[in-house]
Amino acid sequence: MVIAAGRNGSDVCCHQLVGRALIVALLVLCDSSWAGADETADAVAAIRKIGGTVRPVGKDWAVDFHLRGRRLTNKELVHVAALKNVVWLNVSRTKITSNGLAHLKGLDKLRWLHLEMTKVGDKGIEHVAGLDNLEYLNLFGTKITDKALEKLTRCKKLKRLYLWQTDVTDDGVARLQKALAKTRIVRGVDLSKLASSFSSEVEKPKKRVALKWVGVTSRGEAPAKSEAGINCEILFENRSKKPVKLFWIGYGNGALKFYARLAPGATRKQNSYSKNAWLVTDDDDQPLGFFLVTEDDSHAVVPGASP
């Protein structure tokens, strides 16, 4: 009996120890989760304090300094690195240099990066070239040369690259284009080669992709929200016989933001991003249809059959 009692006592002790171990493990996990949440909140607060904007994109983040955060310096990029799940970053026209881009090395999800009009040079592109998911890179007005282009051959997912007013050469661009055949490389217009009056070639209107019109009768039939994408331009055209309203379907909760009212026959050029969704309604806010934006500049026609 004594032995049996001892065994039962041991079993109870074992169960108690296991229970305590589970409680400790849960507390550790909770502490880690809370710590992660605190780090994210601190990073967001720090970015906003120095003039940046932060918005959620699903479970990830989009960070923008180009409007109010132009005093951003290299050392302050550490706050962006602390945010980790950043998919979209705009540091154009800020004070960052090549050295500051070292902070971006851990941003594995980064897909869109604006570096235009900064003092970034060839050295900084070494850090950028390690971003395996990068799809969009704007280097307009930077100090890069062909040496940077050699490094960018590692960016196999790159879809758009802007090189206007840099020190790259035709040969360097040709080599990069051969390595990244599917990448659209934009070098802009060389003003030094233009005549005093623009040629008819320069004045040609943009080639635009036609966006598909999807007719709907309720908000629930349109996309729930917009996704982040590459910067582009839409030419909206109302070919119906009645005025229509344009609403951008927001990120996150998909809130509608009114942008314009188009009279019959009217057009409007609108800056947007690929994967954005635009809802068209009548004057009474009754949904008529929507457009999903592509990566190319596009033409969105509200058809004449719309009521």
Give per-residue pLDDT as tens, 68-90: 667 899 999 999 999 888 999 99
SS3 content of the chain, % helix, strand, coil (to 5): 30, 25, 45
Q: Once rounded to an integer, what is the mean pLDDT over residues 133-152?
A: 95
| pLDDT score recorded for residue 28 | 44
pLDDT, residue 19, reads 53
The CA-to-CA distance between both ends of the chain, in Å, stands at 90
- Domain residue spans in the chain? 44-188, 209-302
pTM summary value: 0.59
How far is residue 304's CA from residue 307's CA, in Å, rounded to a whole number?
A: 8
pLDDT in tens, 241-283: 999 999 999 988 999 999 999 999 999 998 888 899 999 999 9
Position 271 scores a pLDDT of 82
Q: pLDDT band at residue 8, thresholds of 50, 70 and 90?
A: low
78's enclosing H/E stretch is: helix 78-83
- Residue by residue, DSSP assigns 219-231 as GGGS-SS-----E
Mean pLDDT of 186-198: 50
Mean pLDDT value of segment 190-205? 41
In the predicted structure, residue 6 carries a pLDDT above the cut 80: no
Lowest mean pLDDT among 18-32, 149-163, 164-178, 261-275: 18-32
- pLDDT at 246 (0 to 100): 97
At 219 the pLDDT is 96
Average the pLDDT over each of 14-18, 193-197, 220-224 and give the range with the smallest value: 193-197
Where does the pLDDT of residue 304 fall: very low under 50, low under 70, confident under 90, or very high at 90 and above? confident
Determine phi and psi for 257, rounding to 5 degrees: -120, 120
Where do we find the tokens 């999807």? 214
Strand blocks (E) in the chain:
53-57, 60-64, 86-90, 112-114, 136-138, 160-162, 184-186, 209-210, 214-215, 231-238, 244-249, 256-262, 267-273, 277-281, 287-292, 298-302
pLDDT score of 16: 57
What CATH class does 44-188 carry? Answer: alpha beta
What is the predicted pLDDT for the residue at 70? Answer: 77
More confident position, 177 or 7: 177
Q: Which of 13-27, 170-184, 219-233 has the highest mean pLDDT?
A: 170-184
Mean of the pLDDT values across residues 148-169?
Answer: 94
* Type of residue numbered 266: A
104-121 per-position pLDDT tens digit: 988 999 999 999 999 999
Would you state the pLDDT for residue 232?
83
pLDDT at 222 over 80: yes
> What percent of the chain stands above pLDDT 90?
60
pLDDT score for 197: 36
Q: Which whole-number Å values give the CA distances from 265 to 19, 68, 93, 242, 287, in the listed order?
A: 72, 37, 38, 9, 19
Least-confidence region, from 36-45, 77-86, 132-141, 212-221: 36-45
- Per the CATH hierarchy, to which homologous superfamily does domain 209-302 belong? von Hippel-Lindau disease tumour suppressor,  beta domain (2.60.40.780)
